[in-house]
Amino acid sequence: MAQLSLPADKRDNAVMTLPALLVRRIAETDYLPCWQAMKALTDARTPHSPDELWVVEHPPVFTLGQAGKPEHILGAGAIPVVQCDRGGQVTYHGPGQTVIYLLLDLHRMGIGARALVTGIEQAIIAMLADLGLTANSKPDAPGVYLDGAKIASLGLRIRHGRSYHGLSLNRAMDMAPYQRINPCGYAGQPMTSLALLSAPHERRATEDALLAALATTLDLSLPDQALTTLPDAPPAATLTPDSSLAAHEAAGETPRHALTQELP
């Protein structure tokens, strides 16, 4: 069990005992039930609930952020489109891409939304540096880039000081679906992957390295064992092309950030 000292004006020499971090590693899961599960878990959290990291892969799917504009989807074809409640515009998930969802109590960690975004970006940059790749972030377009090409995307939701959604890192995937969208709302944004950069891209090694980097930048203690199932969630609707998108109206200006924050 990790321990966190309370602020001096609240602790009276007491120490809060925190539950151990949980890691879930899922071989493959559809996006919609996974999103429903992380949202349900966040809604049900208490101050004593453990933080969780979910390491997953999704079948092909386009996801559009809460304020995302459908015109950034140029032609989905047979690939389903889901409009969700994260920040940011449109992105693609598919086989060969590592996705990590971060279900964290930011209040308990003592950090804010910007620190979380920075910590995630720094973790990805450090992990890529270990592979001999020099990457960078951009202040006006969250994610991680190499020579202008994007290799990792971020999209988060903060509700009452608790995060969900997370990051995606392209390992070795079919890049053609990115031609059907304006990635993250930017027309012509180049995309890349570890395989295209001739870097090591084995799935388990990549996941392990990224988890270790996140643990370092976010001061997390990884468990020795991981769970292999998602928590129970409400039954998912059938995911068909454009079915979720059709149920929502996108509004607002194109966001320059990857964060949707709901204040208490």
* pLDDT above 90 for 3: no
Distance, in Å, from the CA atom of 157 to the CA atom of 163, rounded to the nearest integer, reads 6
The predicted pLDDT at position 18 comes to 77
Residue pair 67/184 in contact by the 8 Å Cβ criterion? no
**Cα–Cα distance for residue pair 192/162, rounded to 1 Å:** 31
Q: What's the alpha-carbon Rg for the chain, to the nearest Å?
A: 18
E strand or H helix at 101, and its extent? Answer: strand 97-103
Mean pLDDT score, 197-214: 98
In whole angstroms, give the CA distance from residue 222 to residue 135: 25
Contact of 213 with 124, CB cutoff 8 Å = yes
Q: Give the whole-angstrom CA distance, residue 245 versus residue 249.
A: 8
d(CA 257, CA 141): 6
As a whole number, the mean pLDDT across the chain is: 86
* Site of tokens 């321990």: 3
Q: Domain map of the chain by residue range?
A: 15-248+255-262
pLDDT confidence band for 232 (50 / 70 / 90): confident
Q: What is the pTM of this model?
A: 0.85
Quote the pLDDT of residue 67: 85
Look at residue 234 in the predicted model and tell me its pLDDT: 54
With a cut of 90, say whether residue 233 has pLDDT above it.
no
Catalytic residue set: 184
How far is the C-alpha of 145 from the C-alpha of 157, rounded, in Å?
A: 22
Q: How many CB atoms lie within 10 A of CB 203?
A: 16
CATH superfamily, domain 15-248+255-262, is: Bira Bifunctional Protein; Domain 2 (3.30.930.10)
Q: Are strands 22-25 and 52-56 parallel, antiparallel or unpaired?
A: parallel
